[in-house]
Amino acid sequence: MVQTSHQRTLSSRTTIRYLLHLPNAYAADTHQRWPFILFLHGRGERGTDVEIVRHIGLPYLLDQQPDFPCVVLSPQCPDDVRWPTQDANIIELLDTLLPTLHIDPQRVYLSGLSMGGEGTWYFGSRYPERFAAVVPICARIPQVDGFPEYAERLKDTPLWAFHGDIDDTNPTDHTLQMIAAVQNAGGSPKLTIFPNTNHDCWAKVYEDAAVWEWMLGQRRV
C-alpha cells in the first residue's frame, strides 16, 4: 500500500504529523497481526511538512518497496527541538494509534538515524518494556541528564547499533559510550562500525536484509 500522511491532535492540543505505512496485504486479512516499527527521522526532517520525512531512511525505502512486510509509523519532530522533548507526544500517539491497527504486540520495534538515533537511545532506554528490539544509527548520546549511564536499562533488550568510523557530525565515540553502558550493566548488544564511512551510513543499514532478518526475529516476552 502507499505510505500515507496523517495528523492527529493530542490531549495537549498539540498536532503531531506522521507517515503511516501499511503492507500491501494488510487489508486482505484482518486476522493477521503485523510487526510494527517506530521510525525516528533526523534533524533535517523537522518541521510542519511531513512529506519531507520521506526523503531519507526507512520512509524513503518504503516508497520504493510498498510490499515491505511491517506497519511503520514515522512521526515528525517540530522545528528547533529534539526527540526527547516529544516524550509525552510520542507515547500518546503510540497508545492511541496502535490499538486501532492489526499489530503483533510482541513485535514492536524502534529505529532511527542521526537525531532520530539519539531519540532511539532515549525512548528505548526510557521504555524498554515497549520494544522487542532497538536499532540506533549514527546517533549522539541523548542530551538528557543521566545518559549514557541510563542506557543500562537496555541490557535485556535486543540491540544493534551502527555508526560510520569517520562520522564528522556525531563522532563514533557517542555510540561506543552507549554500548559500553549497556555492556557494563550485563547486556550483550550488537555493534557494527562501518569502515571509511561518514555520517550517512543509514542506507547500508536499511538496505541490508540481514538487519531485517535479525530485527523481525526478535520477540518481546
- The answer to whether 122 and 131 have CB atoms below 8 angstroms apart is no
pLDDT for the residue 221: 83
Query: CATH for 4-216, among 3.20.20.120, 3.10.105.10, 3.40.50.1820, 3.40.800.10?
Result: 3.40.50.1820
Distance CA 97, CA 92 (A): 8
Is residue 30 very low, low, confident or very high in pLDDT (cuts 50, 70, 90)? confident
Extract the C-alpha cell encoding 169.
557530525
Instruction: Decide: helix, strand or coil at residue 10.
Output: coil
What's the DSSP call for residue 42?
A: -
Summarize the confidence of residues 96-111 as an average pLDDT: 97
- pTM as predicted: 0.97
pLDDT at 158 exceeding the cut of 80:
yes
pLDDT for the residue 110: 98
- Cα-Cα end-to-end distance for the chain: 30
pLDDT at 1 exceeding the cut of 80:
no
Nearest to 121 by CA among 95, 139, 98, 101: 139
* pLDDT tens profile 51-75: 999 999 999 999 999 889 999 999 9
Distance CA 167, CA 183 (A): 23
* pLDDT tens profile 162-186: 999 999 999 999 999 999 999 999 9
Q: Which residues contact 194 (CB under 8 A, 6 or more apart)?
A: 162, 163, 164, 165, 201, 204
pLDDT for the residue 143: 94
